[in-house]
Amino acid sequence: MNVKTTRTVTKVIALSLITSTMIHATNGDSLIGLGAKARGMGGVGIAMSHGAESSLSNPALITSVESSEVSFGGTIFMPEIKTQLNTNPMAPLPPQDKMTSDADMNMIPEVSLAMKINENLYMGIGMWGTGGMGTDYSQGAGINNTLPLGQFSNFNMVTNLQLMQFAVPIAYKTDGFSIAIAPIVQYGNLDINYAMPTGMMPPMPMTASFGAGLAQDFGFGYSLGATYDFTKDGVAGLTLGAVYKSKIDMEYKNQLSTATQPFGIVLPDGDHLEQPSEMGVGIAYAMGQHTFAFDYKKIQWSDAKGYKDFGWEDSDVYAFGYQYTQDNWALRAGYNRADSAVVETMNPSINMFNLLGFPATEEQHYTVGGTYALNDQFSIDLAYVYAPENTETFDVSALQMGLDSVTTGHREDSISFQLNYTF
């Protein structure tokens, strides 16, 4: 790769870091897939190669690159999150309106580069928005001091978690077997702020604001991948893959402890919010113009600092994908399923925080996508993901704030686009 190309890729990565915004991810706080090809096939990417795009999904799959390939693009994420604070008819608190989060459109950047060094060695570099979550109810009317306990307006809560990962995959291939490691640097930031009532009747102070400002951190981890391609005589067939992604510990100083203190939530892990380890296996089978792929992945939220404090459960993720190729174009479809990692707990304060601030409750995703090659060097990928509404209601009556429960509905649409250049 020449110096000019290296500088161009570096500038694209830097621009993507500057322009990234809040992400709403959907397997917990993780995206179902990275890149338009994977997202068009339900997120599959453990056994099916998507070229340079595979750098983080399974770094061993970059060995499918014939020379050098760079992919850059992003995802326009359009979530719709509606929350209702359900009041107790016997309490003085007036009925609450269902509110829609203003965090309803975001841009997630992705840049990947992979190159063939020699017949056995492959390397890459890339940056991806990998996950995050949040809500924005700051457009609410605020707390109305003329009513007992006031008008909550979802506490005017604003939460924002952003996660981006930078990785350098190194892969080795011999015959049909490939193995790889990808050191990972993760950048994250977290911000939580809200207002809540502090008194019963005027002229007592009625509101107090809580929040410690934006907190940031860098963490380090790695991804390991392996694949075996049973292709013989140039005829595509069966491919098996496996991947493991380590935990990445992050500490957002004073953020979680400040936000949860008024609710009396005890956080054994303090201000740590650790991205959980992941492990998965995949299978892909190509038969002429048709390719079928299936991935299974476990995300270990219950063993990750911070997430386990909020009662998150492990996710079993199932992804199914299909691809049809013809001349210079391809069509894709897929389905992704994972039960919500956010579940009702015995702690009403945690129930409140999970559904009001971090409702990562989506479970099903239906996807379509395609590729069109302009020539031997340039191609364009598109994908659309639809996640139907999933509604959860958690009990918060023990808070004695005049509320019985919290109900949150979460649905999503997203469009991914990607430009690929082979050289």
Q: pLDDT tens across 33-65, in order?
A: 999 999 999 999 999 999 999 998 999 999 999
Q: pLDDT tens across 162-202, in order?
A: 999 999 999 999 989 999 999 999 999 999 988 876 654 34
Mean pLDDT of 80-85: 90
Kindly tell me the burial class for residue 49, based on how many C-beta atoms sit within 10 Å of its own C-beta (0-12, 13-18, 19 or more): buried
What share of the chain has pLDDT > 70, as a percent?
86
- Start-to-end Cα distance in the chain: 9
Peptide bond into 276 cis (omega under 30): no
Mean pLDDT of 6-21: 40
Kindly tell me the burial class for residue 114, based on how many C-beta atoms sit within 10 Å of its own C-beta (0-12, 13-18, 19 or more): buried
Buried b (16+ CB within 10 A) or exposed e, 384-399: bbebeebebbbbbeeb
Is residue 310 helix, strand or coil?
helix
Mean pLDDT of 344-365: 91
**Where is average pLDDT lowest: 91-100, 128-137, 219-228, 236-245?**
91-100
Angle at the Cα of 17 (from 369 to 368), degrees rounded to 5?
5
String of DSSP letters for 50-71:
-GGGGGTT-GGGGGG-SSEEEE
Residue 109 to residue 107: CA distance in whole angstroms: 6
Q: Among candidates 59, 64, 132, 53, which has minimal Cα distance to 418?
A: 53
Mean pLDDT of 68-91: 88
Compute and round to an integer the Cα radius of gyration of the chain.
23
Confidence tier at 208 by pLDDT (50, 70, 90) = low
* Helix/strand number for the chain, H first, E second: 4, 17
Name the average pLDDT for the chain. Answer: 86
132 token code pair: 């995050």
pLDDT at 99 over 90: no
Residues of the chain by 3-state class (helix, strand, coil), percent to 5:
15, 50, 35
Is the model more confident about 206 or about 293? 293
The pLDDT value given to residue 311: 94
Angle at the Cα of 31 (from 412 to 77), degrees rounded to 5?
40
* CA of residue 97 relative to chain centroid, distance: 29
For 294, residues 6+ apart whose C-beta sits below 8 A from its C-beta are: 44, 282, 283, 284, 318, 319, 320, 321
**Whether the Cβ atoms of residue 190 and residue 358 lie closer than 8 Å to each other:** no
Confidence tier at 235 by pLDDT (50, 70, 90) = low
Confidence tier at 143 by pLDDT (50, 70, 90) = very low
Confidence tier at 407 by pLDDT (50, 70, 90) = very high
Confidence tier at 7 by pLDDT (50, 70, 90) = very low
Q: Among candidates 62, 65, 30, 334, which has minimal Cα distance to 182?
A: 62
Residue 169 to residue 56: CA distance in whole angstroms: 8
Q: pLDDT tens across 254-299, in order?
A: 999 998 888 888 899 999 999 999 999 999 999 999 999 999 999 9
- Which run of H or of E encompasses 18? helix 3-19
What share of the chain has pLDDT > 90, as a percent?
63
Name the range with the highest mean pLDDT among 4-18, 130-144, 331-345: 331-345
pTM: 0.88
Q: Which fold has domain 3-422?
A: Porin (2.40.160)
Domain borders along the chain are: 3-422
**Where is average pLDDT lowest: 131-140, 146-155, 264-273, 372-381?**
146-155
Q: Among candidates 78, 335, 60, which has minimal Cα distance to 170?
A: 60
